[in-house]
A and B are shown apart, each in its own frame.
Chain A
Amino acid sequence: MSYTLRGRLESRLAALLPVVAAACALALAQHRWWPVEAVGLMLGIGLVLDVQAYHRLLPYQPGWAAVPLGLVELALLLLCMRLGGIAAPPAQALALFAGGWLVAQFLGHAGFPLLRLGYAEDGGELGRLGAVSAVAVAVTLAGAGATAYALLPPVVHLSAGVHQGPLVITHREVLVGAPGAIVRGGIVIRAGGVTVKNVSVVGGDDGILVNGVSNTTLDGVSVSGAKLDGIHVRFGTVHIKNCSIDMLGNPYGQGIDVSYTMEYGMNMIDGCTIVGGMDGITTHVSMTDIAHNHVSRTTMRAISMTEMSMGMIDQNEVRDALGVGIWCNDRSVCDVQRNTVVDTRRDPSGDQSRRGIGVLASFQSQAYLWKNELAANPLPSGALVNSEVFSRP
């Protein structure tokens, strides 16, 4: 097909209509915006490529070219989604793209030619249908964008200074702390979709308590002086990033404890620094990715994934843990890769399972190790009680 520029744009817009509809339906079903955002990106990438590349480089586009061009667009879409922070379930995102691609092929080769006699000789131009499609896509995406904007949670600014807590959040909101904003006595989150950003928490039973609510984001928070856990999550989902937790002087509390969230979805703990505490980061019955964290000076384990948990422990730095660096326990499945675990100390109790082990799998668990730096640990890795440590080359 030799497309005119207008033909390319009209064909793309018209072929995208069913995909936009599917994305809106998916967004409604999932109460998430990623399908609409992804389709918006698909459209943007496609239009830019049409105008800047395809029209100039492809005076004639053979049928087979749809495959490599589709792959290029998919790669760009995934890159843009990553850069734009659009978190989508990979399988669903791929299915949406693949569905859109197939619809476009079907319409381009069969639907449009049947609908419009001169489709091929008009270079893909669709006349009135093209204009209507453009308007429909624009209106739908603009409507979705407006809805998304209207549904954005209110932003609450916490001024600098000490605010007496506990601060209880009962509505969906974005709490943003000014530099120097401190909450004394902890934060309790009781609504879904809450974001807490750049707030320091001092004291409290738990520094930040998330219980029974999902889609919580903790970004740039710091916690110190908590009596129990630094961040305590139960029965919900959470994304914790760039946090700082000081548990020194608290021998029994956990820096971050995410437990009993398996049925609610994935959690993410990324880029946090945790010092002290019994366990630095621990998960029970949860699916969690633990990445890019710095954990040190813990008294039991630096990072533990236990009680039928599963997830990735990736690119973390663990130093000076007492007994065990990374622990995969109790029928858990752990991908342990690209971590640095050094200077793990032998527990003076004499417990053989705590003799300074870099990575330990125990009680019917499976740990898959890849490219970890395990140095200056009395025992680099070990497995106990029907557990296995698999090392991939």
Chain B
Amino acid sequence: MTVAVVGSGLAGFTAYQTLRRKLDPEEIAVFGTGDDPVAAWRPRAEAIRQREMRSESDGHCLPTSFPGLAFRSVVSRRSMRPLVDTVRDRYHPTVDEFLAHVEELRERSGWERSVRETKIEHVRAVDGGFELDGHGVFRHVLLAPGHPGLNVPDELRSDPRVVHAYEPHEYPPTVTVVGAGLAAATEWLNALAAGSEVVSVRRREPERRPLNVPREYFSRRGLASFHALGPEERGARLHSLLAASYPPGEQFDRPLRRAQREGRFRVESSVNGSRQVICATGFLRGFRHDALLARLVDEYSLDIADEWIVLAPDATVPSLTDETRTLALAGVPAQWAFPAADTLAGAKYVAHGFLRKVQACRTR
């Protein structure tokens, strides 16, 4: 066995689907804490009562963008509407449709045959590959460790009213939501729908855009210039691209306008006396929060820039990748190569590059 994926979440699962185009399940080892690829994602989606994906028809785990989830929805909904909507960029699969898609892929791809329920804590570069915590040497390794943890602002950490948006919670009569991204926007609507009075606390006005980053950054069109930036500029660009945002549209604006008119929604600059404070502040950022990555950087003196590990455009670690072996990152640590790396499109981007490396290796 020469190929290993460390991480059994959605990024690892998506990479696995791509690898399966050329490799059998027995040729791929997936190391993770469980064999359910949405084990981490699903509770978060449930916590914020997410009903629709932000991604569009191609927000799935298959290796190719076609057929997208809109086709699947045409069948399940018995309507052509999903196809019409996808032409207009208005189609978003429901969470249930996405989960069903993952389940179907999981069953038919042989995922369980490849998963080893082991948490890898140390990757050691050796001749002709990488040794993974005594589980063998693999020529090509993809690290998809996932988000390192939930982010709660320091000043709120000891506040007993605080709950993170991605943790289970209900909505008391007065709620303060900290943050300005999609999770925050979803929580505004959830709390309003539950009859709460909502205060939005945010440092800046949220960006309104359909996807996590501008669309051109999902293709070489925007990536070519992004990859050409120097480390400082690229870091600054990443900070700007990854600023909190949520999609434009009346589905958010109409209820917020109505609540504002009724005096049930307002924006403030700091947390006030609400009975509950929901931190929709995303995840901890930076490789330092991930023990595996931090150790890798320290042991091999990897190039870093700000909070990111410096990667090649195909998300491989340059100093540990050559014609005979590959070490690549997927998911949020791959943002240096692909700003939307923590999306399904990002997972696919990394997976495609990784598969190319595997195929190009003569000693595979």
Contact = CB atoms under 8 A, between A and B. Distances in A.
A110 B68 CA distance: 9
A3 interface: yes
A24 B222 CA distance: 38
Contact of A110 (B18, B67, B224, B355): B67
Find the residue from B65, B89, B218 having the highest chain A CB count within 10 A.
B65
A117 B223 CA distance: 17
Given A64-B88, A118-B349, A2 B65 contact: no
Contact of A59 (B87, B216, B224, B352): B216
B270 interface: no
Interface in B335-364: 345, 348-349, 352, 355
B220 A119 contact: no
Contacts of B222: 2, 59
Interface residues of B, number: 27
Contacts of B348: 121
A171 to B, nearest CB: 55
Contacts of B89: 62-64
A122 B88 contact: no
B220 A60 contact: no
Nearest to A63: B87
Interface residues of A, number: 23
Interface string A92-127: 000000000000000001100110011111111100
Given A120-B58, A121-B352, A4 B221 contact: yes
Interface string A262-284: 00000000000000000000000
A207 interface: no
Nearest to B86: A63
B63 A117 contact: yes
Given A59-B216, A60-B215, A63-B88, A118 B352 contact: yes
Contacts of A59: 215-216, 221-222
Given A110-B66, A110-B67, A113-B66, A121 B219 contact: yes
B339 to A, nearest CB: 12
6 contacts: A4-B221, A60-B214, A63-B87, A63-B88, A121-B223, A125-B220
Interface of B: 18, 21, 58, 63-67, 86-89, 214-216, 218-224, 345, 348-349, 352, 355
Interface of A: 1-4, 7, 59-60, 62-64, 109-110, 113-114, 117-125
